[in-house]
Homo-oligomer: A and B are copies of this chain.
């Protein structure tokens, strides 16, 4: 961590002190902080993009877009806090005439406590130092300690400095945001194990996420870990749709598979379909697109190496055959699109075929009939997304399969593709284990704020001492549930 245990203690004591202080701030001050941080990030000059390009191999257009997404996250989460969406404010008024008398009970969401954030390699802005986890934790009222991602340290530092400037300009204590570099796993472990830390946000690999969960569970006071660990995002091809659009779907699918050299947690790495003419046409067209795909540099040498070795591992499993691989040979550090096939029977007996190959790799599971499609689906691990390329008639004819697919994923998509995760209130980015460690919370969109809150009820509390969102007059003008009715007015006694 480049800091000793003693220094970590001092750092986290400052963080804890900041937590106590910002707990007394009104919601409006938190909203202002978030908007100031957004402005600071927006004001960053070309150095940010240049540094990130050098550290991540990502192209300028992508990084410029990701910067915009990052700023949008801070601003839209601030809007959500201002509207009270993260607070779930609720009031049940007293009834002194009841036997026994009914007390006045009011509930809001308060901050969990200081949060440790572990950023991702593949989004140096939107899921790293200044990314969605940090924005949600700050929006929740929690101080944040980011463990900088080693893949893009200079980019992270530029973002950290922008956040710190925002913290200072908004009159928040410096301990509201901290940025540390960990050189060893032990240092990261010391951070999560520290009693001041009350929650963890993580985006990355399955192995990394599960390691954090294990440490968090072993603490004397276990804490929640919100780890988004990726998945293989199955795409289901239905016969009705294939009949009319196989070639077009193959083209769109190839685009989604190779987007960003396949380096997205929502990359659609698995195709499930019944064998037949429709599937043959789909694979034939896909083959053409894959052959033409140009290999491109991956985020870093380690990721490129991991892609090749994981791909070879899956290709080497029983029954797997390579369908097509980009004809242009990949240079060192590049990833070449590859598609393989396997039968439903072979897929059913080997869980290793569900290994995530991070990069532009897809496995097509050819099922002999509808029953085998169902069996393969039952066997699937939890997924962030599932995509159905289908007609309305396909959906109607396969109601039970569709219900089963819903039980396996966090987002279900109709004739569209999972890459491109919209930042909006209705987005759920998360899913049943092992795609995330906690299927009940999203890591994208303003509802991600709730990961870092917990409800607190006030009983018979004097109005003037209640948080603004629970006061009779409703000074924030937010929507609340009052005596079981939704409304945005004042409470009249």
Contacts and interface: CB of A to CB of B under 8 A. Distances in A.
Contact of A456 (B395, B406, B460, B461): B406
Contact of A411 (B223, B411, B457): B457
A150 to B, nearest CB: 28
Interface residues of A, number: 80
Interface in A414-440: 414-416, 420, 422, 424-428, 430, 432-434, 437-440
A79 interface: yes
Interface string A431-471: 01110011111100001001001111111111011000000
A392 B430 CA distance: 44
A100 B107 CA distance: 39
A428 B457 contact: yes
Contacts of A427: 92, 105, 107, 457
A103 interface: yes
Interface stretch (A35-43, A280-288, A333-341, A397-405): A397-405
B113 A407 contact: yes
B428 A455 contact: yes
Interface in A23-37: 23-24
Nearest to A478: B486
Given A85-B481, A107-B428, A412 B455 contact: no
A433 B221 contact: yes
Contacts of A428: 107, 455-457
B20 A425 contact: no
A105 B426 contact: yes
A433 B222 contact: yes
Contacts of A410: 454-457
A83 interface: yes
B465 A395 contact: yes
Contacts of A105: 422, 424, 426-427
A425 B464 contact: no
A83 B461 contact: no
A102 interface: yes
A144 interface: no
Nearest to A198: B432
B83 A484 contact: yes
B460 A426 contact: no
A91 interface: yes
Interface centre among A106, A213, A462 (most CB of B within 10 A): A462
A189 interface: no
A348 to B, nearest CB: 16
Interface string A100-137: 10110111001011000000000000000000000000
A411 B484 contact: no
A24 B415 contact: no
A403 B456 contact: no
A51 to B, nearest CB: 26
Contacts of A382: 221
Interface centre among A20, A400, A455 (most CB of B within 10 A): A455
A224 interface: yes
A288 B102 CA distance: 29
3 nearest A-B pairs in the assembled complex, by CB-CB distance = A428-B457, A411-B457, A413-B459
Given A105-B422, A426-B457, A432-B454, 4 more contacts: A20-B400, A217-B217, A223-B433, A440-B450
Interface of A: 20, 23-24, 79-80, 83, 85, 90-92, 100, 102-103, 105-107, 110, 112-113, 213, 217, 221-224, 382, 392, 395-396, 399-400, 402-404, 406-407, 409-416, 420, 422, 424-428, 430, 432-434, 437-442, 447, 450, 453-462, 464-465, 479, 481, 484, 486, 488
19 contacts: A20-B404, A24-B400, A90-B447, A105-B424, A107-B426, A221-B433, A224-B440, A395-B465, A410-B454, A412-B457, A412-B458, A413-B459, A414-B458, A414-B461, A440-B455, A441-B455, A447-B455, A479-B486, A486-B486
